[in-house]
Every structure is written in C-alpha cells, then in structure tokens.
Chains A and B, each alone.
Chain A
Amino acid sequence: MDFTFSEDQLLFQESVRDFLVNEITPEKIRELWETDSGRSPELWSQLAELGLTGITVPEDFGGLGMHMLDFVLLAQECGYVALPAPLVHTAMVAVPLIVNSANDNLQQTWLPKIASGEAVVMVGLEQNIFVEDAHIADLLILEKAGALYAVEPGNATLRANESVDLSRKLFVVEFDEAKADKIAEGDAAQSLIDAALNGGALGVAAEALGLAQRMVDISVQYTSERKQFGVAIGTFQAVKHHMANIAYRLEYAKAPAARAAYAIDHGQDKIAMAVSHVKLAASEVANLAAKNCIQVHGAMGYTWEVDLHIYMKRAWAYASTWGDAAFHKQRVADYVLANDAKLGAGNTF
C-alpha cells in the first residue's frame, strides 16, 4: 500500500505547471478568443516538444509510454490554466482508444503523428454529443449505432455550437458510414467506448480540480488586496468561510481522482464507479468555487474584464460534459445498490 505519487511524477507536474502558467496567461487566452480557430498551432508544437502530446503514446510509437496516473496530475495543471488546446482529450481519450483498438493501421498511421504534434485526433461519443475541436482534427473517431468509425474530416459535416466558454470549440458532426472506416463493432466497440468515456470524464474531473484551485488562488489574492471598512475584505470571516468551504471539499476530491486513474491503469472492476465518483465530486467543488469566488469579488466578479470568468465558465461547462450528473449518479447507483455490492469498512481497495 503506497498511495503517494513518486518523486518523478511530482517533479514532472511541477515543470509542466511552470511552463503552463508562464505560457497560458489570461491575456493569451483572450487573444485566442479573437482568432477564427481559437487554437494556436505554435502552442501545440510547444506541447509536443515537451513530450506532452505523446505522453500516453507507447514508446515504440515515439511517445513517453506513460499512463493515466502519470497524466492525472498534469490534467489538473491543464485545468489550472484553462488550457485552450485538446491535450487532456488527446492523452486520456484519443491515444488510449487507438492503443486499445488493436488496429495496426490506425496505430502506425496516427500514434507517431500525435506524439510529434503533427496530427490531432478527436473522439466523439453518443454520450458526449458535442465533439470537441473537430475543426482542427486530422482524424475523427466517431460512435454511431454501437460501432466506431475513423472518419476523415473532409467526409464529415461540422456544425459549430458556441459554448459559454469561448475557449471550448464544440461541433455536432455528421458523416456517412459508407465513406468511413469501421474500426470496431459489438462488444469490442462497446469496451472502447466505455474506456473513452471514462478517460474523458476523469480528464475533465481532474481539470475541474485545477480550475477550483485557480479560482481560490485568484480570490485569496483579490480579497487580501481589496479594502472596505478600512481593512482587507479577506479579514472578514464570511469571506474566509466562503474560501474554506471550497478548500475542504477540494482536499477530499483529489485522492478519488488518483484512485480512478489507478483503477483504469490496472483494469479494476470498479472503474465506472471510481470515475463517476470523482467526476461528480470535482464538478461539484469547481461549481462551488465558481459561486463563492464570484461572490467575494463583488461586482468585479461579474465583469468580462476580471479573469475569474475564464475559469468559472470552464467549470460550468465541465459539470455536464463527458456524462452529465444524472449519468454519473446512475453509474454510482449501479455499483452501490447492486445486490452483491461490496460496501463498508475494508472494501475500498
């Protein structure tokens, strides 16, 4: 029993955090809002140079060969900066799907290009109706009627749907099966679909933890500087307790994220419950952070100018993506209310 991250994992997290915090400033995010694609090829190249686009790509295909557990810490950092690039999707959804597809052609064609940053592959599932970043994808992997298809973007029609978070690029994608490559059907497809959904849900859950932390940090700083009644508003207990209420729930959502990543890496039978647990807990704390942090900013928090909304809107969006609350609660219920459920002390590991 060793429930700690390794020195290497923590160092990697730190270096990625340093890079992201320096590069992905709020100004940079606002600049990208003004562009057509909302995406920066330069940023993607930088991420590739750091090995991040290929982090879960096996070494044989030019990646770092790491796993969910390695990436779950980095996903928190991606959330911390509200990264406007599909890195979490790549590492936790697209790459694992291709790796697990046992489709040589798909692997050989795409994995090296993902690792090098030359290609972006995005996945669309029926449970997650809007396909993220389809407009910059070089390949789409889409679910339809229980099967999975590899679709060239030229053979698909994209309908852009604007999100409250201008950094999120969402599309409804239509395609003709006749012009697509069926890569899996039946049980094989279902297990890839389940895994993709779990990877995506864990990814946004981990990002939500980072978002909550960012909103707290912004608000602690703001309330330490802003004065009313002659003192910093952060000295008022009502303001302190707004922050403390986020902090203690955040503290108890981190270990479930690590456990869910571990469960996926080790193919444990409680993956669905573990992922849904952290998805619910992380969405809840990120949305509490949004609510309390706007409150302690007063009118400032209600403006476009103050950066808080960059993180707040992402948190709102993540609450219902990769499975909404109803979906994840049902999966927890399936586990907890099963006749043979293993509940109680001694059944966690």
Chain B
Amino acid sequence: MQLEFTAEHQAFRKEVREWLAANVPAEPLKTFDTEEGFQQHREWEKKLYEGRWGMITWPEEMGGRGADLIQWLIFEEEYYAARAPLRVNQNGIFLLGPTLMEYGTEEQKKKFLTGMATGEDIWCQGWSEPNAGSDMAAIRSKAELSDDGSHYVINGQKTWSTRAVWADWCFGMFRTEPDSQRHHGLTFILVPLDLEGITVRPIPQLDGLPGFAEIFFDNVKVPAEYRLGGEGEGWKVAMATAGFERGLMLRSPARFQETAKRLVELYQANRESADRDPANREAVLRAYMDAEAYTLTTYQTACRLIKGGKIGAEASTNKIFWSELDQQMHATALSILGARAELQPHAPDAAGVGTWLDGWMFAQSGPIYAGTNEIQRNIIAERMLGMPRK
C-alpha cells in the first residue's frame, strides 16, 4: 500500500487545474434543463473536447488520453473543485461511448464517437417504459425488421428519458422478437430523434423544468445499421452500459466531497443559529466522514481494478451509499438554514440560501434512478450475501 500520488499524477493534476482555471466560465451556466442552458453546456463540451479534456478515459486514437481510473479521479477532483459545469453529454461519453467501442462496427464508431465527444450529438437513454421501470425486462416497445432487412419499424413508448427534450439521439432497447419473454428477444438500437413519427413530450420535474421526457414512436423507420450488437442481444449490450465499472464513474467522490465542504462552510457561517440544535453539528461531521469514506473506498476499488481485480455485486453498495449521503447532506443544509430553507433563491429575503433547495430536490431522485435503492438492496442480499431468492 502506498497512499501518495506519483510525480506524474501530481503533474497531471497541475495540468488539469491550470486548464480549468483558464477555461471554466466565470459565470455559472444556466441549468441544462432550459434550452439556453442546454446550448451553453453543449458549447462547454466542445471546449473540453478541444482541450482533450472531454473524455480522458477514452483511448488516445479516439481523442481521449487513455487515462486510468486514478487519473480519472484526479480529473474529477479538480473539475468539481473548480466548480466546472455539469456534463450534459455524460450518457454519451460515459455510457454509450465505451459500449460502442466494445460492440460497435468500425462504421458505427466512425459515425458516432466524434459527434458524441464534441457535444454535437447529445444522447439520451431509452430504457424505461410506463410498464417497465425497476422491471426493465418488461420492455414492450417493438422494433420490426423490414422484409428487405434495411430498416426497423419502431412502435411504442419510452419514458423518463433524461435530457431527451433537446437531445439529438436516443439509445435504447426494443423488442425485436414478437412473442419473446423477459430479457430475450430485445435489441439495442440507436435512434435519431428527428425522425418522422417520433414525438418527444417534456415532463416537468420537481423543480418545474423539463429535465426528462416521454418519447413516443409511431411507425418510426430506423436504418438497420443503427443496431448495436446482434439482433436479440440487446440485454447483454445494455448490461455492458450499466456495468459495474460504469457505475463507479456515474458519481465520482469529488462531487460529494465538495458538497460536504460547502456544508461545513454553511455551518461555520451560521454557527450561532445552527448550534441551537446539536444534531446539526453531528450531521455536518457525518457528512464529512461519509464523503471521506466514499472517496477512500472508491480509490481502493479503482486500485484493485487497475491491478486486474474485478468488482462484483458489492458495487451495488455504491449507489445506496452516495445517494443517501447526498440526501443527508442536503437535509442538514436545510436544517441549518432554518426558516429560510424553503425560500427560492430569487426570493427577496433569501440571502445566503445558495443552491441547497435545488440540490435537495435533485437528491430525492438519487435513490430512484439508475436502479432504485430497494433493487440495489435486493442485489446486495442475493448476490453479495447469497441469501435465497425464492
């Protein structure tokens, strides 16, 4: 064990820090759940791409830096510490990109990877359907291959698709074998959202902004070459997208360490009123410790993976830990803010409330998306601890 960064790591950190200092917009961008904010974030992605900082874990020949997981963690630390914009194309870069590299044909890689990296093509995910949420294998949306094999005809509905309102493409799973059951007979297809027969209906989230959408497909013709992986192999390909290592990258520790730091600052700035309830101090300390535990454990996992180790079902612990931590930190912040906690930031007497309320609302979704925490607990019990299924 050796818990110091190498000289190369330190040099890398310095390079990231300097680039971010010179390039992160001075004014925070508008949220990407608005049209204007979406475009601003798209431009930011372009800038990252031009600096070769957009997808550092991608191989060099694809415009990345071939960064390992430790470099990735360092990058994220600097990124969050610099309060750089959230990543509008994370579905593309972190989820679809690596899957394309694994399952895509040469033509597909050529066609999709660059646009994804530059932010020209923003991708949304189409897994969930009205009747397929936690039970993703219940997908019903159909894709029928035309007789000449040139295209699929898609009918059905996807829902809760994040950023679909202004996205350009959707990747999703569709039932290609008419009477197939569960995870059989599903196919992974890439769909341009401007095709005829597609209707995107925005769904306002808790904050009133259309952060996700329903997507309706009415006889939508999609070229057959947009299938990723084999016909009927959709589940396998999708599992690669949702795989454990990707889970590790979904929420890097830096994000929560910065929230914990802001929480300590908030507490220090409101010490007198906050200390009227001793629970606040305790919760602030817990936030720090849990963010620290998440960081240490993630580094440990990353090091194990770099050395050729594997992660299995214990990865399900990750999702629960960070999402509960995020809720707990925001709840503490609201408790410290007291009567002002409910005020929207633009209210005349809301001085000092920051973005905690927005963060609190978003934190409510953490235990739901990317596999609910109940589903994660089932996985931990059955696959990590070996408890009986039936």
Contact = CB atoms under 8 A, between A and B. Distances in A.
A38 interface: no
B379 to A, nearest CB: 8
Nearest to A255: B296
B281 to A, nearest CB: 7
A243 B288 CA distance: 25
A83 interface: no
A253 B386 CA distance: 21
Contacts of A280: 289
A281 interface: yes
Interface string A215-236: 0100010011000000110110
B19 interface: no
Interface string B295-314: 11101101110010100001
B264 A336 contact: yes
B70 to A, nearest CB: 5
Interface string A327-338: 001001100110
A152 B282 CA distance: 42
A345 B289 contact: no
Contact of A1 (B9, B294, B304): B9
Contact of A251 (B3, B261, B314): B314
B260 A343 contact: yes
Interface in B268-326: 268, 281-282, 284-285, 288-290, 292-297, 299-300, 302-304, 307, 309, 314, 316-317, 320-321
Interface stretch (A2-10, A52-60, A102-110, A197-205): A2-10
Interface string A314-349: 000000000000000100110011000101111111
A37 interface: no
B384 A247 contact: yes
B111 interface: no
B282 A343 contact: no
Interface string A253-278: 11110110010001000000000010
Interface stretch (B49-57, B77-85, B157-165, B213-221): B77-85
A345 B76 contact: yes
A245 B293 contact: no
Given A231-B390, A232-B388, A258 B5 contact: no
B346 interface: no
B387 interface: yes
Contacts of A223: 387
B297 A343 contact: no
B196 interface: no
B78 A345 contact: yes
Q: Which of B282, B288, B304, B374 has the most CB of A within 10 A?
A: B288
A341 B381 CA distance: 39
A277 B281 CA distance: 15
A344 to B, nearest CB: 4
Given A241-B374, A244-B377, A256 B292 contact: yes
Nearest to B317: A248
Interface in B63-87: 70, 74, 76-78, 80-81
Contact of B299 (A1, A244, A245, A254): A1
B387 to A, nearest CB: 4
B378 A251 contact: no
A74 B294 CA distance: 23
Given A220-B387, A244-B380, A262 B1 contact: yes
B2 interface: yes
Contacts of B5: 1, 349
A338 to B, nearest CB: 10
B109 interface: no
B296 A243 contact: no
Contacts of A248: 316-317, 320-321, 377, 380
A237 interface: yes
A344 B317 CA distance: 23
Interface in B245-270: 253-254, 257-258, 260-261, 264, 267-268
B385 A216 contact: yes
Contacts of A333: 281, 285
B378 A237 contact: yes
A345 B297 contact: no
**Closest CB pairs A-B (n = 8):** A240-B381, A344-B261, A345-B254, A248-B317, A255-B296, A345-B77, A244-B377, A244-B380
28 contacts: A1-B2, A1-B4, A1-B6, A1-B9, A1-B303, A2-B303, A2-B307, A5-B1, A223-B387, A224-B388, A232-B388, A235-B387, A237-B378, A240-B387, A241-B381, A243-B380, A244-B320, A248-B316, A248-B380, A266-B3, A277-B289, A277-B293, A281-B289, A329-B282, A336-B284, A345-B253, A345-B257, A347-B257
Given A1-B4, A256-B289, 5 more contacts: A239-B387, A241-B374, A252-B293, A256-B293, A349-B299
Interface of A: 1-6, 69, 216, 220, 223-224, 231-232, 234-235, 237, 239-241, 243-245, 247-249, 251-256, 258-259, 262, 266, 277, 280-281, 329, 332-333, 336-337, 341, 343-349
